[in-house]
């Protein structure tokens, strides 16, 4: 197949990283991929042909501006067997693709399903929690891909002083924004230290879209935690953690959890969205209520005490999210979509 993969941003986040993991495997299987991005950025260096395709912007109400790109979208689609719309913002192009084969990949838990999403030849969803919000679309739950062979890279935080036994490290890896809940880990830090006085608590990440500057400033200024700026390979950080914490208020899947598990790191996460589809409570980590730093702290201490047992179970259960198996699932859906009769109305 010749696939045009449309991205809403030029700076890779979770959806784009997942697409690149899929792309590498599809290329190895003889398919061809071209990325369409709205502007120059790091995705230009992904090793794939790149074209520009504007989508109107990410802000609310920007979708109408995407109509100006409909003629270009149709021309680009004409040179490909399938258009892969990576996310709901990319889905704005579906009305322009009538008569062309397309797949819409929904990465978010949505509140509203536009009628034109039914124009897609197939719809992919990151989790059952995402698919449940897509009635009538027959969404395929594919989860998200992780690399099972975790890169060997040094920890991005300074080593312990004194040269003694390394202290246990509890960490958060992700965007510093309210939806991800890192401030809950900050508030839980004193309770965690009360039960494990030598623990280090690190928060790795930034707010690349400057979506909540006051919130991010609170997190960065907090005492008792170490803040590490964004790192290019968050998955490589996981092997240096004893527990990964994901205190999200909403999450469609939780790739960061699966990446930690692949590295043999147990996790503590909130029972929201698709996170319960990743974490087996009491086996690979713990699930707690969102917005409860007290429960978060208790769960971290419990998982620290069972780190070896839960870490081994986590590594084993992460195999179902491996990128090779993911490519098998998605490739089969893409091939079926590419060979469906064309929609003409």
For residue 124, list its beta bridge partners.
Answer: 105, 140
Q: Is the pLDDT of residue 174 over 50?
A: yes
Q: Residue 344 — pLDDT band, cuts 50, 70, 90?
A: very low
| Residue 231: predicted pLDDT | 87
| Residue 62: predicted pLDDT | 81
Helices and strands of the chain, counted as H and E runs: 9, 13
In degrees, rounded to 5, the angle at the alpha carbon of residue 48 between the alpha carbons of residues 42 and 53 is: 70
Consecutive H or E run containing 50: strand 50-52
Say which DSSP state 182 is in: H
For 203-220, write each residue's pLDDT tens digit: 999 987 788 999 999 999
Give the SS3 label for residue 327: helix
| Residue 345: predicted pLDDT | 43
Average pLDDT rounded to a whole number, residues 125-130: 98
Average pLDDT rounded to a whole number, residues 180-186: 97
Average pLDDT rounded to a whole number, residues 105-128: 97
123 within 8 A of 45, measured Cβ to Cβ: no
Percent of the chain with pLDDT over 90: 87
Q: Which of 155-159, 191-195, 312-316 has the lowest mean pLDDT?
A: 155-159
Cβ neighbors of 16 (< 8 A, separation 6 or more) are 7, 9, 43, 86
Secondary structure of the chain: what % helix, strand, coil (to 5)?
40, 15, 40
φ, ψ dihedrals at 236, nearest 5°? -70, -15
Q: Which of 36-45, 161-170, 291-300 has the lowest mean pLDDT?
A: 161-170
| Residue 165: predicted pLDDT | 63
Average pLDDT rounded to a whole number, residues 50-63: 87
Query: Pick from 60, 71, 75, 115: which is nearest to 91 by CA?
Result: 115
Domains recognised in the chain with CATH numbers: 2-145+322-338 (3.40.50.2000), 169-321 (3.40.50.2000)
Q: Is the pLDDT of residue 199 over 60?
A: yes
For 262-273, write each residue's pLDDT tens digit: 999 999 999 999
Q: Residue 162 — pLDDT band, cuts 50, 70, 90?
A: low
Q: Is the pLDDT of residue 164 over 60?
A: no
Q: Residue 277 — pLDDT band, cuts 50, 70, 90?
A: very high
Give the DSSP letter string of 257-296: HHHHHHTT--EEEES-TTGGGT--BTTTEEEE-TT-HHHH
37 within 8 A of 53, measured Cβ to Cβ: yes
**For the purposes of burial, counting CB atoms within 10 Å of the CB of 28, is it exposed (0-12), middle (13-18) or buried (19 or more)?**
exposed
Percent of the chain with pLDDT over 70: 97
| Residue 64: predicted pLDDT | 85
């Amino acid at each position: 197949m010749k696939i045009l993969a449309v991205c809403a941003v030029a700076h890779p986040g979770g959806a784009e990283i997942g697409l690149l993991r899929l792309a590498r495997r599809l290329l190895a299987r003889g398919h061809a991929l071209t990325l369409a991005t709205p502007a120059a950025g790091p995705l230009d260096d992904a090793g794939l042909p790149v074209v520009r395709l504007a989508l109107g912007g990410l802000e609310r109400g920007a979708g109408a501006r995407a109509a100006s790109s409909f003629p270009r979208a149709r021309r680009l689609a004409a040179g490909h067997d399938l258009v892969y719309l990576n996310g709901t913002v990319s889905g704005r192009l579906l009305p322009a693709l009538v008569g062309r084969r397309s797949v819409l990949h929904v990465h978010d838990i949505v509140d509203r399903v536009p009628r034109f999403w039914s124009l897609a030849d197939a719809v992919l969803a990151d989790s059952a929690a995402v698919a449940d919000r897509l009635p009538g679309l027959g969404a395929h739950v594919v989860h998200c891909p992780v690399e099972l062979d975790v890169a060997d890279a040094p920890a991005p935080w300074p080593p312990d002083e004194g040269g003694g036994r390394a202290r246990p490290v509890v960490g958060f890896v992700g965007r510093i924004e309210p939806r991800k809940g890192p401030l809950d880990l900050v508030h839980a830090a004193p309770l965690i230290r009360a039960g494990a006085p030598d623990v280090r608590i690190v928060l790795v990440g930034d707010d690349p879209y400057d979506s909540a500057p006051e919130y991010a400033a609170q997190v960065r200024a907090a005492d008792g935690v170490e803040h590490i700026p964004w790192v290019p390979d968050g998955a490589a950080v996981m092997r240096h953690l004893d527990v990964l914490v994901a205190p999200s208020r909403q999450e469609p899947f939780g790739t960061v959890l699966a990446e930690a598990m692949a590295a043999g790191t147990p996790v503590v996460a909130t029972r929201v969205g698709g996170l319960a589809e990743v974490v087996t409570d009491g086996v690979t980590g713990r699930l707690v209520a969102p917005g409860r730093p007290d429960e978060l702290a208790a769960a971290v201490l419990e998982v620290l005490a069972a780190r070896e047992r839960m870490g081994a179970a986590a590594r084993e259960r992460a195999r179902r999210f491996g990128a090779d198996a993911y490519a098998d699932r998605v490739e089969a859906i893409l091939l079926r979509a590419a060979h469906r009769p064309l929609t003409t109305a």
